[in-house]
């Protein structure tokens, strides 16, 4: 079994994971349009939690989110979840605020993933957005932060449309979130999905790769808890392939299930079961791959 790549979880669980024997290298703290309503204090706390656990903070900056489209970016729109107005000027203002918070709480070297999974709803062929991403990247670089440009794991033929954005980034990223609700036909091929995307990114862009968001939901259990274990095992057995493809780290969506997670999101009830632990702290079968057995 090849040794694992550097691993990560959600920042608020990074210390718990370390206490369970996992070597935690990254901790994710998500930012989005909700910060326009609620401010940055909660995010700052999560960034500090990652640092306290000895992990590098990784901030997926999800401003446009599911509202993204050429029309929304060009003309503005209202966030479907938060009800706040969104436009390019506010995106830039909030990016500057986020950069200040990240630099102050996380320090230089903190990683920002700018608009993860942006390549959808027509944006994948919207040339102007390539330049906009590069402009946002400059904001974070000015504070000594590292930047990831990350594609949703589909439509590879369109990824080269964002050459300026990728050139501005320190790393490129990919992801895989699979569930019985949306992906029953491809779920068991999760390792292939990550290896193939990583090889394509390496061959196309030649930059280090961060798999910044991975999850295979165990919903419904017990059948998908078994499936989750199988896929995670496949990923760990193929660590050498991922390393050879330029991958520098893998971050699991969340350490433990969240029974309060919003089921209006894409994967419905499966969104509550990304964890490697049950909500009560009991380990699922797949957690065994993350403990030091190498």
Residue 126 domain-assigned (yes or no): yes
Residue 213's φ and ψ, nearest 5 degrees, are -155, 100
Residues 291/22, Cβ–Cβ less than 8 Å: yes
User: What distance in Å separates the CA atoms of residue 28 and residue 105, rounded to the nearest whole number?
Assistant: 13
**Per-position pLDDT tens, the chain of length 294:** 788 999 999 999 999 999 999 999 999 999 999 999 999 999 999 999 999 999 999 999 999 999 999 999 999 999 999 999 999 999 999 999 999 999 999 998 999 999 999 999 999 999 999 999 999 999 999 999 999 999 999 999 999 999 999 999 999 999 999 999 999 999 999 999 999 999 999 999 999 999 999 999 999 999 999 999 999 999 999 999 999 999 999 999 999 999 999 898 899 999 999 999 999 999 999 999 998 653
- β-bridge pairing 77-78 and 85-86: antiparallel
Residue 1 domain-assigned (yes or no): no
pTM of the model: 0.96
Work out the widest C-alpha separation in the chain, in whole angstroms: 53
**pLDDT for 127:** 97
**Residue 91 CB-density burial (10 A; 0-12 exposed, 13-18 middle, 19+ buried):** buried
**pLDDT for 138:** 98
Residue 58: its H or E element? strand 56-62
Cis peptide before 136 (omega within 30 of 0): no
User: What distance in Å separates the CA atoms of residue 193 and residue 242, rounded to the nearest whole number?
Assistant: 11
User: What distance in Å separates the CA atoms of residue 289 and residue 31, rounded to the nearest whole number?
Assistant: 29
**pLDDT for 294:** 39
SS3 category, 74: helix
**pLDDT for 198:** 98
Please give the DSSP secondary-structure letter assigned to residue 98.
H
Please choose, from the candidates 33, 52, 9, the residue with its C-alpha nearest in 3D space to the C-alpha of residue 97.
Answer: 33
Q: For the domain that residue 280 is a member of, what is the CATH number?
A: 3.20.20.80
**pLDDT for 104:** 97
**pLDDT for 1:** 76
User: What distance in Å separates the CA atoms of residue 152 and residue 145, rounded to the nearest whole number?
Assistant: 22
How big is the CA angle at 227 (ends 225 and 230), to the nearest 5 degrees? Answer: 115
**pLDDT for 293:** 52
Residue the block writes with tokens 């068991």: 188
Residue 114's φ and ψ, nearest 5 degrees, are -80, 120
How does DSSP assign 140-182, residue by residue?
A: HHTTT-EEEEE--SS-GGGGGGGHHHHHH-SEEEEEEEE-HHH
* Size of the chain, expressed as the number of residues it contains: 294
Residue 107 domain-assigned (yes or no): yes
Residue 2 domain-assigned (yes or no): no
The CA-atom distances, in angstroms, between 234 and each of 4, 37, 118, 194 are 12, 41, 28, 11
How far separated are the first and last CA of the chain, in Å rounded?
7
Please choose, from the candidates 129, 196, 122, the residue with its C-alpha nearest in 3D space to the C-alpha of residue 168.
Answer: 129
**By residue range, what is the domain housing residue 133?**
7-290
Residue 31 domain-assigned (yes or no): yes
- Total count of domains within the chain: 1
């Amino acid at each position: 079994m090849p040794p694992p790549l550097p691993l990560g979880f959600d920042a608020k669980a990074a210390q718990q994971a370390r206490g369970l024997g996992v070597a935690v290298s990254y901790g994710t703290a998500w930012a989005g349009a909700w910060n326009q309503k609620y401010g940055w204090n909660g995010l700052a706390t999560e960034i500090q939690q990652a640092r306290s656990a000895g992990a590098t903070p990784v901030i997926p900056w999800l401003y446009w989110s599911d509202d993204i489209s050429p029309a929304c970016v060009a003309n503005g729109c209202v966030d479907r979840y938060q009800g706040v107005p969104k436009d390019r000027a506010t995106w830039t203002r909030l990016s500057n605020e986020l950069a200040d918070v990240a630099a102050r709480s996380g320090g230089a070297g903190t990683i920002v993933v700018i608009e993860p999974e942006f390549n959808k709803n027509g944006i994948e062929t919207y040339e102007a957005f390539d330049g906009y991403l590069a402009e946002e990247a400059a904001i974070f670089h000015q504070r000594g932060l590292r930047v990831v440009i990350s594609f949703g794991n589909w439509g590879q033929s369109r990824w080269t449309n964002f050459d300026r954005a990728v050139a501005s980034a320190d790393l490129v990223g990919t992801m895989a979130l699979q569930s019985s609700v949306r992906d029953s036909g491809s779920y068991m091929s999760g390792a292939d999905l990550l290896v193939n995307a990583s090889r394509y990114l390496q061959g196309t862009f030649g930059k280090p790769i961060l798999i910044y968001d991975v999850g295979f939901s165990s919903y419904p259990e017990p059948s998908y808890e078994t499936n989750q274990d199988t896929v995670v095992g496949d990923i760990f057995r193929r660590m050498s392939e991922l390393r050879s493809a330029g991958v520098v780290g893998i971050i699991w969506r969340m350490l433990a299930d969240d029974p309060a997670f919003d089921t209006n999101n894409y994967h419905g009830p499966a969104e509550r079961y990304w964890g490697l632990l049950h909500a009560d702290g009991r380990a699922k079968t797949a957690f065994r791959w993350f403990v030091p057995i190498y």
